[in-house]
Structures are given as structure tokens and as C-alpha cells.
């Protein structure tokens, strides 16, 4: 494997976070000939590009509870999407969503139509594809950073310690800040930029229905002007030969924030409340699922974008250790924004290291 570290705990670059931004960045650094190690706190890959396997009518089916679909606006991301369409990893799901507002349910305006892409096997397949050539340590939550004279020392919650000459942090800013305080002088603009990055929470509800449920005429509904419900997606319409409807609902930010510290019984109650709300405004059957699950996203979407695709700085240790921050709060709160940020972070780091891409 190109760039694989001989000592698995040391590398040229450590990337924290195996979301889209971290994985894209790591791949580009690997291609440039660097030894790269990715550290990820969760057991799975992809971060908010997330898929759960759930039991539905006796079968295990994938359900996307984070990012629902991709859109491609920039040339670079569009080229990548085309490559994945060619590999059969991505497919076009729909061009037209529905909109629910005070006037009721309607197809979105033709001006807003555009291809929405999905992975038929679940959105995490993209992350698995990106991670294939990489060395990724999962279940490795980074809890401490030390800047020594010429290396970063990265401490994980599981007691492991890793070393690298450069660091890329591709995790939401509120999770990164506690790790960076005391490493960076308070006057460094990086700290104030990261400090200003706020995220909205989102409660995601997954629900499966019986075989006699009539297939709805919509695939995805953007709910406008509704403080409680932001999105309703027919997840089963992404899968080949669905057995019956499986839906994913996303709560609005304000409503979701009421449940940030809630325990399982309260979350279950909130899930039922959201389904009842959707049933009232759409179809009564939505209130009576065969099964339901709730997932809480504390850092779902950035409120604003920083306007810089990645942020690079040097830690004032003896050699000025490079640190680059990436993620969707830099280049836009979508998968495309995370992808662009990951690309930019790799470019920034390579420039800092004085290298070039092969
Ligand atoms: C509910 C929801 C719906 C969405 N819908 C869409 C959509 O339809 N279309 C779209 O384009 N985008 C959508 N998005 C946004 C999209 O998912 C994100 O913009 C994108 O996935 C962010 O990628 P990222 O790499 O910046 O961050 P993340 O995906 O958050 O990756 C960060 C990774 O870092 C890990 N991590 C965090 N802290 C540590 C630590 N201390 N040590 C090690 N690892 C750590 C996390 O576990 C995570 O895997 C949605 C997001 C949510 C939550």
C-alpha cells in the first residue's frame, strides 16, 4: 500500500476525522507520496454521511440518517460524481423534490430541479470507497494534542499515542477547539474563526411501515416554514425492490435543540411526536410505523460558512508545526462543501510542507 506507515503509530501526516473532508484530504496526501494515518472516533466511516442497517420485514436494509443525497455544483465535484456514477457507486435518485409549506404539498419549482445523487447501498459506501487505500484507525477518539519540537503527539482515548510531522483536523470546530486551546496563541485568527463556527442540531427519525402501506407519490419533501419538521425522505425509494415504505424525518433545528440532553425515553417520545406531526400534515399512515429509531446529530449543519476552504497555521513550536483545519464549516454545509474543503486542506498542507503533488 503506497504511503503505509511501517510503524502504524507514526506517519508524515495524521488526519483526525474520517468524514468526507478527512478522507478526501488523506487520499490526496497519500497520492502525493506521504505516509498518512486517519484517526476516527466512531466504529464506522463517513461521519455525517451515515447509514444504519435496520431490520425491516425480516430483511436487513440500509437507511441513510445523515446526508440524504448529493448535488454537484462545482466542476471538480461534478467530475468526481461522474466517476462514481461510472463505477455504479452513485445513481441519480430524482431531479424533483416536493415542498411542503402553508399552501400545502407541491412539486418544487422547475427552476430548482437538479439531479440528486444517492448510493443504492447506503451513503456510507462513498466513505468506504474513499477509505479503501487508506490506513484508518476507527474507535480512536483523539483527546489530546501535544506539539513537541518537530512532531505532533496525538493522544487517543483508548490510551494509544500517535506521532506525525503535520496534522489535519477534519472535525466540527466545536469538537476541535477544546483540543487546540493552549496550543495556539489567543491572538491567532484561526482560534477566532473556529470559535465563530456554530452548528445546528438535528433529530433524525427512521421509521418502517407495513407492506399494505400505499407507496407515496413523493421521494423527498423539503418542509418550509415548519419549526418542527425540516425534511421527510422516502428512503426505501433509493433501494432496489423496496418491500414497503421506510422514511427518514429530520427535525427542525429549534425543535431538535430541545432534545440535546434527552435520554432514550424522551427521544422515543420526540420521535413519535414528529411522526404524528408529519401524519397531520401529510398522510395519516405516517403516525403508525412498525418500527422507529431516533438519532441525535449534535453538530448537524454549520450555521454559516467561513468562506475559506481550509485553514492552515503553524504552531509556534521550535519548527513551526503545520496544522490544517477542514470540514463543511469551511466550504459549505453539504457533502460537496466537505469534499472541496478536504481537497483544499491537502493542497494547503502540501504547500506548507514545500512539496508538490505527483
Ligand atoms: C441530518 C443531516 C442531513 C444532511 N443532509 C445532507 C444532504 O442531503 N446533502 C448534503 O450534501 N449534505 C447533507 N448534510 C451535510 C453533510 O452530511 C455534511 O456537510 C458532511 O458530511 C460533513 O462532512 P465533514 O467531513 O466535514 O464532517 P463529518 O462528517 O462530521 O466528519 C467528522 C468526523 O470526525 C470524527 N470525529 C469527531 N471528533 C473526533 C475526535 N476527537 N477524534 C477522532 N474523530 C473525531 C467524527 O466521528 C466524524 O466521523 C446533512 C447532515 C446531517 C447531519
Together in a domain, 156 and 297 = no
- Cα 146 to its chain centre, rounded Å, is 27
Together in a domain, 16 and 156 = yes
CATH number, domain containing residue 253 = 3.90.660.10
Burial 142-179 (b: 16+ CB within 10 A, else e): beebebeeebbebbbeeeeebbbbbbbbbbbbebbeeb
What residues flank ligand 1, with Cβ below 6 Å?
A: 16-22, 39-42, 47-49, 66-70, 141-142, 170-172, 175, 202, 204, 250, 297, 300-301, 327-328, 333-338
- Segments forming the whole domain that contains residue 225: 69-122+199-302
Together in a domain, 90 and 115 = yes
Give the model confidence (pLDDT) of 204-251 as tens digits. Answer: 999 999 999 998 999 999 999 899 999 999 999 999 988 899 999 999
**212 CA to centre of ligand 1 in angstroms:** 35
Together in a domain, 151 and 31 = yes
- 18: Cα within 13 Å, side-chain hemisphere: 30
Together in a domain, 219 and 79 = yes
Give the model confidence (pLDDT) of 63-108 as tens digits. Answer: 999 999 999 999 999 999 999 999 999 999 999 999 999 999 999 9
2-26 mean pLDDT? 84
Rg (CA), the chain: 21
* 144 in a structural domain: yes
pLDDT surpassing 90 at residue 355: no
Together in a domain, 158 and 272 = no
Together in a domain, 183 and 222 = no
Together in a domain, 22 and 38 = yes
- Work out how many domains the chain is built from and give that number: 2
**17 CA to centre of ligand 1 in angstroms:** 9
* 5 in a structural domain: no
Together in a domain, 283 and 139 = no
Give the model confidence (pLDDT) of 41-75 as tens digits. Answer: 999 999 999 999 999 999 999 999 999 999 999 99
Contact yes or no for 121/62 (Cβ under 8 A): yes
Amino acid at each position: 500500500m503506497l504511503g503505509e506507515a511501517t510503524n502504524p503509530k507514526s506517519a508524515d501526516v495524521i488526519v483526525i476525522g474520517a468524514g468526507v473532508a478527512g478522507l478526501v484530504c488523506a487520499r490526496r496526501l497519500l497520492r502525493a507520496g506521504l505516509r498518512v494515518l486517519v484517526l476516527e472516533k466512531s466504529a464506522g466511516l463517513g461521519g455525517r454521511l451515515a447509514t444504519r442497517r435496520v431490520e425491516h420485514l425480516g430483511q436487513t436494509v440500509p437507511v441513510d440518517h445523515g446526508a440524504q443525497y448529493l448535488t454537484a455544483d462545482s466542476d471538480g465535484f461534478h467530475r468526481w460524481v461522474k466517476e462514481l456514477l461510472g463505477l455504479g457507486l452513485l445513481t441519480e435518485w430524482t431531479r424533483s423534490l416536493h415542498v411542503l409549506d402553508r399552501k400545502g404539498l407541491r412539486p418544487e419549482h422547475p427552476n430548482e430541479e437538479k439531479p440528486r445523487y444517492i448510493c443504492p447501498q447506503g451513503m456510507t459506501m462513498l466513505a468506504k470507497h474513499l477509505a479503501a487505500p487508506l490506513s484508518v484507525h476507527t474507535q480512536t477518539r483523539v483527546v489530546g494534542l501535544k506539539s513537541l519540537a518537530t512532531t505532533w503527539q496525538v493522544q487517543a482515548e483508548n490510551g494509544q499515542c500517535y506521532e506525525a510531522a503535520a496534522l489535519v483536523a477534519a472535525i466540527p470546530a466545536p469538537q476541535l477547539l477544546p483540543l487546540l486551546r493552549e496550543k495556539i496563541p489567543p491572538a491567532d485568527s484561526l482560534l477566532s474563526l473556529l470559535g465563530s463556527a456554530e452548528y445546528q442540531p438535528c433529530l433524525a427519525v427512521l421509521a418502517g411501515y407495513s407492506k399494505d402501506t400505499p407507496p407515496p407519490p413523493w421521494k423527498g419533501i423539503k418542509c418550509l416554514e415548519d419549526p418542527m419538521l425540516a425534511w421527510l425522505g422516502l428512503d426505501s425509494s433509493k433501494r432496489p425492490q423496496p418491500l414497503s415504505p421506510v422514511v427518514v424525518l429530520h427535525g427542525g433545528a429549534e425543535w431538535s435543540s430541545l432534545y440535546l440532553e434527552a435520554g432514550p425515553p424522551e427521544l422515543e417520545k420526540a420521535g413519535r411526536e414528529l411522526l404524528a406531526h408529519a401524519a397531520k400534515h401529510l398522510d395519516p399512515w405516517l403516525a403508525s410505523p412498525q418500527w422507529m429509531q431516533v438519532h441525535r446529530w449534535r453538530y448537524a449543519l454549520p450555521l454559516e460558512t467561513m468562506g475559506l476552504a481550509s485553514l492552515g497555521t503553524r504552531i509556534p513550536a521550535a519548527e513551526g508545526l503545520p496544522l490544517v483545519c477542514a470540514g463543511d464549516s469551511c466550504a459549505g454545509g453539504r457533502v460537496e462543501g466537505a469534499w472541496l474543503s478536504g481537497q483544499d486542506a491537502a493542497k494547503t498542507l502540501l504547500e506548507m510542507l514545500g512539496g508538490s503533488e505527483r
